[in-house]
Structure 1
Amino acid sequence: MTKLKQVIFWDFDGVLMNSNPVRDLGFQRVLQDFPEEQVALLMDFHQKNGGLSRYVKFRYFFETIRKESLSDEKLKHYTDRFSEIMLGLLLDQSLLIDETVNFVKNNANHLKMHIVSGSDGNELRTICKALQLTDFFISINGSPTPKKQLVHDILTQYKYDPKDCFLIGDSHNDYEAAEVNGIDFFGFGNSKIEALSTFKFAL
């Protein structure tokens, strides 16, 4: 196996958990009372931008697709409803991706690992605690802070050398978060994203 770097930033959805179909369902349920064609446009944006947070996606739906203002209070209403649905569906061990989760469990004692996700941070920490993943990670981080900023903040807080770090993700937004912070990227689970990898790595 290729010699490992010391620090791994993990995306969550589609990398540690097969949760993307559930996320799709969440948007469809929350927006079920809106016109189907508008929801279809949102789903297209959502699926093309897997690493972006629900906060960005709901704003896109209302401000760009529907061309109406969205107050912070109204945004919170939709994101809270989305989170309720997610917590009802994602506390499920069977959704974990064995290949990556087993790697995490087997290497947590000698590698420094963080989760950086577009999913809501509080929701993500609840899921990880329920599925007994929390102790394998130094930190578990999510939205509303953008992923690019999450990576930057961790690099700064823990004084990591970017040369010792890489990010594992399944979306172009993951690649961009790695690139802008000067760390390597390893694409997972998607041939187009795998082609963007700047680091050779074997799970």
Structure 2
Amino acid sequence: MKKYVIWDFNGTVLDDLKLSVDLLNLMLKRQNKKQLTVEQYLDVFGFPIKTYYEKAGISFEKESFDEMANFFISQYQPESLNQSLNKGVKKTLERLKQLGVKNILLSASEQNNLEEQIKHFKLDHLFEAVLGTDNIKAHGKVYKGIDYLKTHQINPKDCLYIGDTTHDYEVAQALGVEVLLYTGGHQSERVLNQTGARLVTGISDIIKYI
């Protein structure tokens, strides 16, 4: 039995797909670029964020990547509090805690923004640790995770990671932990399948793999 479940936040815990697509299209519209459908978004989204923006059609001729990232977060953070959790998230977190499994949140989101979201959705008591980054450009998730496991002397074999992107697969590989990828997040099942990882269509399915 696993002792820890490491959770991604955006797209895994929080259902922010529509918000993210809407904001991308707002940025494209500001540049008079063609907007994307949800299906197109699911095929181009990825990390690094700058590469994903470029794939989506955004250029950095008039606005720098830093300016675009700041604009996105200024719009995203307040609106994220109006979104919903993915179905089954809270019950699964509660069930894992009942089983004695420790939930760890590991996100590319900036730490203060992440803590605001977790408190707003009343999830803070369900997580052993909330690990965000020190920037708004989604840099540093791997290092945060590695540092936490080392500092707390956690055996990677005792961990299960749940995310919704190929980047989550890469993070899990870097941490040396088992991974499940959720198909209801920010990337299409076709894209996720390229990793060869096990896929789950519902968050509550995690319990089967503990």
Query: TM-score range, shorter-chain basis?
Result: 0.7 to 0.9
Q: In the aligned structure 2, how far is the partner of 1:48 from the partner of 1:142?
A: 25
Q: In the aligned structure 2, how far is the partner of 1:59 from the partner of 1:50?
A: 9
* 1:17-73 deviations in Å (ceiling 9; x for gaps): 211221121222244321314x65xx96x6446563xxx4247647x9636597xxx
Q: In the aligned structure 1, how far is the partner of 2:96 from the partner of 2:52?
A: 39
Preserved contact between residue 6 and residue 164 of structure 1 (Cα < 8 Å) = yes
Q: In the aligned structure 2, how far is the partner of 1:121 from the partner of 1:97?
A: 21
TM-score by length of 1: 0.75
Say if 2:59 is the partner of 1:66: yes
TM-score by length of 2: 0.72
Q: Among all aligned residue pairs of Structure 1 and Structure 2, give the percentage whose two residues are the same amino acid.
A: 20
Q: In the aligned structure 1, how far is the partner of 2:65 from the partner of 2:174?
A: 28
Say if 2:90 is the partner of 1:101: yes
Residues 159/198 of structure 1: CA separation in 2 closer, same or farther (3 Å cut): farther
Q: Secondary structure at the match of 1:129?
A: helix
* 1:107-165 deviations in Å (ceiling 9; x for gaps): 23522211122333332221111111122112223344333223212212221101101
Which of 31, 35, 40 in structure 2 is aligned with 1:34?
31
Equivalent residue number for residue 197 of structure 2:
196
Structure 1 regions of 5+ residues with no counterpart?
A: none
Equivalent residue number for residue 114 of structure 2:
124
Structure 2 regions of 5+ residues with no counterpart?
A: none
Preserved contact between residue 11 and residue 117 of structure 1 (Cα < 8 Å) = yes
Letter in 1 for 2:94: K
Residues 184/69 of structure 1: CA separation in 2 closer, same or farther (3 Å cut): farther
Number of residue pairs matched by the alignment: 190
Equivalent residue number for residue 152 of structure 1:
146
Q: Secondary structure at the match of 1:98?
A: coil
Preserved contact between residue 96 and residue 207 of structure 2 (Cα < 8 Å) = no
Q: In the aligned structure 2, how far is the partner of 1:48 from the partner of 1:196?
A: 17
Q: Supply the RMSD in Å over aligned alpha carbons.
A: 3.4
